[in-house]
Structure 1
């Protein structure tokens, strides 16, 4: 089926509303899409309703950050919105994000980037504040030329990691989704920056927690990386997922909605 299983809306740090994303996905020819906002699934109902109107299957999803590595992310799909496990975890992570915004603002001031937190909050429009919101204000105020520069110089550096928010363990993230009746995929494995051997060890550990899939198809994966991730999925009895990580051209101008052909019976059944 033609699908994009990794997309972000205004419910977190994306540019477009959940309904707008579904409309754009329909225009792209998608049959299935998953809304995977950071630490929240508050936009899912709007997206699902839009999907029902437009004939697109929309999966309730979420992207969770685990503490073992700076960019270890877990994608959850098809879970129950009423399940206490996923509600509690998202609430905990949202509180950590809300507390982090003050430390990001202080960190940037120390670097000579004086950002008014109220402007960041206004830009977020009530959504959970993420680093892309700060990046967009930095561009607006002329401190950097684009979001990529904001991350490279300030928001994704080794020094920044010292003030990063509190996160749950990968095991907690996987368990919360699985206990809510959902499926779990290891997001963009290249971002963890592990050599092949240690990465396979991580996959084995995640599978022990209940991992169902690896996000093998991703815009920034090289052909060699994609081939290795597909090899890992086959070797360890996992499914292959894929997605664009679309946020909108204002946030990630180089990323477009993907139209990936995938076997999804295991996920939709």
Structure 2
């Protein structure tokens, strides 16, 4: 069965602009029949989203996005995970604590670079969720330290110097196994962000498949037609399913990334 879906979105439970219920409302307006809520390192937004989806007449698939240690932008999307799994919940609690501690280190790091902003303003943008880099970027933008959100990452929050305060991550293999134990299936998110050439990327996909990877996010906002074709060929070669999503955070966070509406065959994900 084909669904009108966006399988990669974020809410205020992590670093998105909209509360989970508001995000469901946007999905309804977009004509989606299925929404994948995949906040970073947390499941906190899922109950609100599922409740709102029941009233709106669409389906929310519980999801999560987690990063692996091998590459800074090696991210894995877990779909259909149990909200009661002790292993995954333990991981989420560890990440929440790590992010809470990291926010002070980010403030100090930015001050070293001449960017003096108030942590209270950053926390206000998080709206009760975990404080993440996009919240810092928004305050920096408001105070004129940067002209675009992207500039915050290029100059400060995604540099080699920043790596010394980055959160420690599990291996990709451990990420996949953690998500599988929670009853989920796993997709390799936005492959282009790992910044490997085609041969090295295929080697990574082969390794991930060996560790249990289920799918590749072939359809993504920033993928060129050539990238998309290559990722589809990898999916076929290694027997992987195909997923897609926008990586929607809201126009204040990612102004150039609207909510998606992809036609995806997802029975393998929903019936298993």
* C-alpha separation in 2, matches of 1:94 and 1:5: 23
Secondary structure in structure 1 of the residue aligned to 2:216:
strand
Give the match for residue 234 of structure 2: 232
Q: C-alpha displacement at 1:12, in angstroms?
A: 0.7
Q: Does 1:92 align with 2:90?
A: no
Point out the more displaced range, 144-153 or 243-252. Answer: 144-153
* C-alpha separation in 1, matches of 2:201 and 2:148: 31
Deviation track 1:173-226 (CA, whole Å, cap 9, x = no partner) reads 111110011110000000000011111111111112211000000010111111
Q: Does 1:125 align with 2:143?
A: no
Contact 1:96 1:167 (C-alpha < 8 Å) held by counterparts: no
Q: C-alpha displacement at 1:256, in angstroms?
A: 0.3
Q: How does 1:13-28 map to 2 (within 5 A)?
A: 13-28=15-30
Q: How does 1:119-158 map to 2 (within 5 A)?
A: 119-158=121-160
Contact 1:76 1:185 (C-alpha < 8 Å) held by counterparts: yes
Secondary structure in structure 2 of the residue aligned to 1:241:
strand
Give the match for residue 215 of structure 2: 213
Q: C-alpha displacement at 1:170, in angstroms?
A: 1.1
Q: How does 1:176-187 map to 2 (within 5 A)?
A: 176-187=178-189
Secondary structure in structure 1 of the residue aligned to 2:40:
coil
Q: C-alpha displacement at 1:67, in angstroms?
A: 0.8
* C-alpha separation in 2, matches of 1:104 and 1:185: 30
- The structure 1 segments of at least 4 consecutive aligned residues displaced by more than 6 Å after TM superposition are none
Instruction: Kindly tell me the number of residue pairs found equivalent between the two proteins.
Output: 269
* Structure 2 stretches lacking a partner, 5+ long: none
Point out the more displaced range, 39-48 or 166-175. Answer: 166-175
Give the match for residue 200 of structure 1: 202
Alignment RMSD: 0.9
* C-alpha separation in 2, matches of 1:3 and 1:126: 27
Q: Does 1:222 align with 2:224?
A: yes
TM-score, normalised via structure 1 length: 0.98
Contact 1:89 1:173 (C-alpha < 8 Å) held by counterparts: no
Deviation track 1:15-70 (CA, whole Å, cap 9, x = no partner) reads 00111111111111111111100100111011111111111110000010111101
* C-alpha separation in 2, matches of 1:181 and 1:211: 13
Point out the more displaced range, 242-251 or 85-94. Answer: 85-94
Contact 1:62 1:76 (C-alpha < 8 Å) held by counterparts: yes
Q: Does 1:66 align with 2:76?
A: no
* Structure 1 stretches lacking a partner, 5+ long: none
